[in-house]
Chain A
Amino acid sequence: MGTFLSLPIMILVAALQVTVMPQISLWGGRPDLVLLVVVSWALNATLEQGVLWAFVGGICKDLLSAAPLGTSLIGLILIVFAIHTVRQQLFSVGIFTLIWVSLIGTIIQEFSILIVLLFSGFQPQFASQLGYGIMVDQFRLFIVPTIVYNLIGIVPIYLITRIIQRAVGTNLRLTR
Chain B
Amino acid sequence: MRNWRSNRILFLGVCLAIALVLIATSQAGFLAPIKGIIAAPLNFVTGLLNRTTQDAVKIADMSSDVPTLQKRVADLEEALARYQSELVELREVANDYQRLSELVNYTSQTQNEEFLAADVISNADSNAPLQTISINKGTRDGITIGMPVVSQLGLIGRITDVTANASRVLLITDVSSAISGRLQTTRDEGSIVGQSSNDLRMEFIPLNAKVQEGDIVISSGLGGNLPAGIVIGQVTSVQQREFELFQNAVVRSLNNFATLETVLVVTNFQPVDLSVFEQSTQTAPGS
Contact = CB atoms under 8 A, between A and B. Distances in A.
Interface residues of B, number: 29
Interface string B2-30: 00000010011001101111110111000
A98 interface: no
A12 B41 CA distance: 10
A68 B45 contact: no
A69 B23 contact: yes
A134 interface: no
Given A47-B8, A64-B39, A68-B27, A19 B19 contact: no
Given A14-B42, A63-B35, A64-B46, A70 B23 contact: yes
Contact of A20 (B35, B43, B53): B53
Interface of B: 8, 11-12, 15-16, 18-23, 25-27, 31, 35, 38-39, 41-43, 45-46, 48-50, 52-53, 57
Contact of B50 (A19, A47, A69, A73): A19
Given A19-B46, A70-B26, A51 B19 contact: no
Contacts of B50: 18-19
Contacts of A11: 41-42, 45
Given A74-B23, A84-B8, 4 more contacts: A14-B42, A15-B45, A55-B18, A69-B23
Contacts of A51: 11, 15
Contacts of B43: 64
Residue from B20, B23, B25, B41 having most chain A Cβ neighbours under 10 A? B23
